[in-house]
Chain A
Amino acid sequence: MSLPLLRKEAREHGLVFAATAGIGAVALWSVLSVAANAGGRFVGLSRFLLTIGPLLAFVLANRLLVREYTGRTQFFLETLPIGRARAFATKWLLGCGLMLLAAGLAWAVTLRFARRTEVLAFSDAVGVLWCAAAFSVAVWSFAALAGMLGRYRYIAWGAAAAVVLLAVDVAGIPLLGVPIIRLLGQDVQMATAMPETSAFIYALVVTALCTAGATALALVGSGAMASTLAQRMTARERVFALVAFLAVGIVSYSLQPKPVQPPFEITQGERFQGRWTRVGVLPVATFDAGTARSLARAIAEDADTLIEALELGIHPPVFVLPQQGLDRHVMQRAALGAADGIVLKVAPNAPLENVRMLVLHSLLTDATLGRGMKEDRHVLVDGLSSYWALRDDEAARERWWLRAAAITEPPPADHLTAWGQTAERLGECQSLALAFSVFDTLAQRLGRDATLESMKEIFRAPKDDVRVLFERRPAATLAAAGFDWASLTAAASAEREKARERHAAALARRPTLDAAVTWRSTPGQGIAIETTVSGAARYAAYYTVLSPWATDEGDMSRLDVLGASAVLPLSPSRNARVLAVIEVDDEILDCPVRVLAERLQFR
């Protein structure tokens, strides 16, 4: 130790150290107050050392070691008759001493705090002091090593943080079980037992290695290494460090195993246990037990056969809850927070084929971790789920072909891979019919087995991490089967034309509908949006204000209109965007048909 050097350090850094001590005191008071009800006597000390400890070590290393090199005053120091080793030892020991002082003071304050409410023998708390000291010395030795790495010290700290992150997120080690941090584990927090000897050995090894590394950097090579490292990072190094940190963060996050949610238990309603799928349907007044039982069986068969055909790895329980008051064509899937499964709320008079289709749709969405809803495969999810639900019901299939044939407006070339826009334009009934027609065409052309083989590939469970970026695109799978989106579009179009011929009589009975949405801005009254429909006695107007980031319709408000026109109960502001939709119940198609979907912008 060199006394003159200690005095110099005190003068040079005293103010910063005092400020750090002040911040540390406030932090200690805060964690002790917060941790007072945490149950452990030394929870506050543990939290303080885990948060403020590394911060204090970082500040100390910066001030005592890094600054001397970056400011080139190390060179002046070396011209004085004091050995480099002695100067380094003085600084290292000063930093270590200050860390121990901080830990000791924090321990003493925590002990006093704990003794206000309970009897705690000094001898019981001494072990905690040892743990705090070992932790502090290990952290300081690492900070000193990082400090001697000069401009790369941030990378060293980042790497240490990444190691902890990976240990916790990937290896599944609890934070208080990570080596070194284990010194402040639960037994220590409760002051009930000392950590295992290995925890101290880890700390000792880390301290020894870091100290040896820091000493080598300070003394070997005439100290030139430390001086060189102290220079500022280049822009390239900064970018590299940033990208490295982001990569580690993303990888550790994406590799984090997702919690397995338990399936919910079905205890009510008519239950049916299929080979893979358990289904429950709750009978209500207008939905009798027999219908419920038969629906449960049909759903179980649908799901089981699809699971087997596509070798899906999930077998969620399904529960259908008929609910009075819902519109016939409105079906909702309940969000389950803590359990796994498919719960649907439907109207008692909902078309059963649609309920079955929605179950299969949910199954495929879950099996693909939601990736089935991506634009380049959504049509296949809709198509396959409807195709599967209708597979044994020729009458229903023809009804859906009729709906598809009713699409008169020629779809744009990319309508199958821009499914959000297609569905917005056509509405649910006809977009599902379109998807069905596309899938049915694919199955006819390729053959059922080959089509299912392709779907097995497309709906395979994706990797739940960054590797998903390398998954095969549906277009590539279709191409392998001899199809591409353009040829599929053309083939489906041809099939719809045939359906139009088959159902010409029915289609001719459909009324001619015309709809318009207009808006006007009146001073003092704002913007009024008016919908007009000719050819129908009643219609439903849906509307929503689109947020700046909204791309789809989301949940829309509904206005049932009797008559030819209505003003929407909406007063949007200037520059707002509104999506207005008009649907009319089509008796021939047996579903609501979207007559108009228009995005308005008020400039």
Chain B
Amino acid sequence: MNDAIRLTDLRVRYGRVRALDGLSLAVVRGEIYGFLGRNGAGKTTTLRVLMGIVGADGGTIELFGEPMKRVSVATKRGIGYVSQEQNFYPWMTPSQLGRFVAAFYPTWDGAEYARLLRVLDVPSDRRSGILSGGTRTKLGLALALAPRPPLLLLDEPTAGLDPVARREFNDMVASMAAERGTTVFLSSHLVDEVEGIATRVGIVQAGRTSIEGRVDELRERVRRVRSAAPLELPPGFTRVRADVWLADGTLWSAASWPEGTSVEPLPLEEIFLAFARTDAPVDAAA
């Protein structure tokens, strides 16, 4: 199997709330997977399942080809994780944090951690409680990368960062992933951020994956169809929104449209908006 992550029909409930309701996705080894979704769509829950913090109520989890009910401690040793909140012990300096975290990872590379702190411009001798939000996020990245994990999970890591810091962070992630062949699973609701870094994208809505694929594939499959007169959905097409339709690239090429109809490719942001909006259901062609 070439997948680093494969989730099938994953279900998680918090009381009566269905946080994940049959979510399925696959992340290929070595790729940067952008996991897009609105607030509350299920992104953080998916990442917490992958970190073993939350147990799944149903479905299957496969990490590096190994199926599991819940992510084990041994598997976690191969995962680096940066969350949207950096809840480090505030009294620990980055150096102390490094020593503390190192004890849990047999593959911890102290020299690499020191290098990452230098590269990321994180002071090693200041208590983490007084570091800025951006610096704490970079510290989180250094802690996540120092064990040289094959899988890096990023849960909206740049939320709250200014555009410059965000760009720096993303560049760092992209270069590390390219340099080491690390698989990156990046959740975000910032489309431009994901578009700039991800090789493949999945859009999650109400605990389910609405669509996933390479960014150029998605642009090919999802298009806006404008016409003066109402149009019937051709076979194999799905109406995402009123004028946003979904179909395989071959179908789009083979389709013939009445005169006066325009078919436009969409930027990723429009595709995300079309799938993430909840004010009308996605219809399938009869």
Contact status A4-B104, CB under 8 Å = yes
**Interface segment, A73-81, A156-164, A316-324, A514-522?**
A73-81
B103: chain A residues at CB < 8 Å are 3-4, 7
CB of A78, distance to nearest CB on chain B (Å): 5
Within 203-257 of A, Cβ neighbours of B (below 8 Å) are at 222-224
Contact status B53-A222, CB under 8 Å = yes
Judge if B55 is at the interface, Cβ distance under 8 Å: yes
Q: A81-B76, A81-B77, A222-B53 are in contact. Are A8 and B100 (CB under 8 A)?
A: yes
A71 to B89, CA, bound (A): 8
Contact status B105-A81, CB under 8 Å = yes
Counting chain B CB atoms within 10 Å of each CB, the highest count among A3, A4, A86, A223 belongs to A4
Within 55-71 of A, Cβ neighbours of B (below 8 Å) are at 71
Counting chain A CB atoms within 10 Å of each CB, the highest count among B83, B89, B105 belongs to B89
A238 to B96, CA, bound (A): 38
Judge if A12 is at the interface, Cβ distance under 8 Å: yes
From B88, B101, B105, contact of A73 by CB (8 A): B88
Q: A81-B74, A81-B77 are in contact. Are A222 and B88 (CB under 8 A)?
A: no
Q: A82-B104, A224-B14 are in contact. Are A75 and B83 (CB under 8 A)?
A: yes
Contact status A80-B85, CB under 8 Å = no
Q: A8-B89, A71-B90, A224-B14 are in contact. Are A79 and B53 (CB under 8 A)?
A: yes
A223: chain B residues at CB < 8 Å are 53
Judge if A72 is at the interface, Cβ distance under 8 Å: yes
Contact status A78-B51, CB under 8 Å = yes
Binding site secondary structure of chain A: helix
Contact status A76-B77, CB under 8 Å = no
Judge if A526 is at the interface, Cβ distance under 8 Å: no
Judge if A83 is at the interface, Cβ distance under 8 Å: yes
Q: In the complex, which range does the number of interface residues on chain A fall in?
A: 20 to 34
From A8, A12, A72, A81, contact of B73 by CB (8 A): A81
A80 to B51, CA, bound (A): 9
Judge if B54 is at the interface, Cβ distance under 8 Å: yes
Q: Which residue of B lies closest to A82 (CB)?
A: B104
CB of B131, distance to nearest CB on chain A (Å): 14
B86: chain A residues at CB < 8 Å are 76
From A3, A71, A76, A222, contact of B55 by CB (8 A): A222
Contact status A72-B104, CB under 8 Å = no
From A12, A73, A78, contact of B53 by CB (8 A): A78
A81: chain B residues at CB < 8 Å are 73-74, 76-77, 104-105
Contact status A12-B100, CB under 8 Å = no
CB of A66, distance to nearest CB on chain B (Å): 15
A4 to B99, CA, bound (A): 9
A80: chain B residues at CB < 8 Å are 76, 101, 104
B83: chain A residues at CB < 8 Å are 75, 79
A223 to B81, CA, bound (A): 19
From B76, B87, B91, contact of A76 by CB (8 A): B87
Within 3-38 of A, Cβ neighbours of B (below 8 Å) are at 3-4, 7-8, 11-12
Which A residues form the contact surface with B (CB < 8 A)? 3-4, 7-8, 11-12, 71-73, 75-76, 78-83, 86, 222-224
20 CB < 8 A contacts A-B:
A7-B103, A8-B89, A11-B96, A12-B89, A71-B90, A72-B87, A73-B89, A75-B53, A78-B51, A79-B51, A79-B53, A80-B76, A80-B101, A80-B104, A81-B73, A81-B74, A81-B105, A82-B104, A222-B53, A223-B53
A-B CB proximity, top 3 nearest: A4-B103, A81-B76, A76-B87
Q: A12-B89, A79-B51 are in contact. List 8 more A-B contacts (CB 8 A).
A: A4-B103, A8-B100, A78-B51, A81-B74, A82-B73, A82-B104, A83-B73, A222-B55
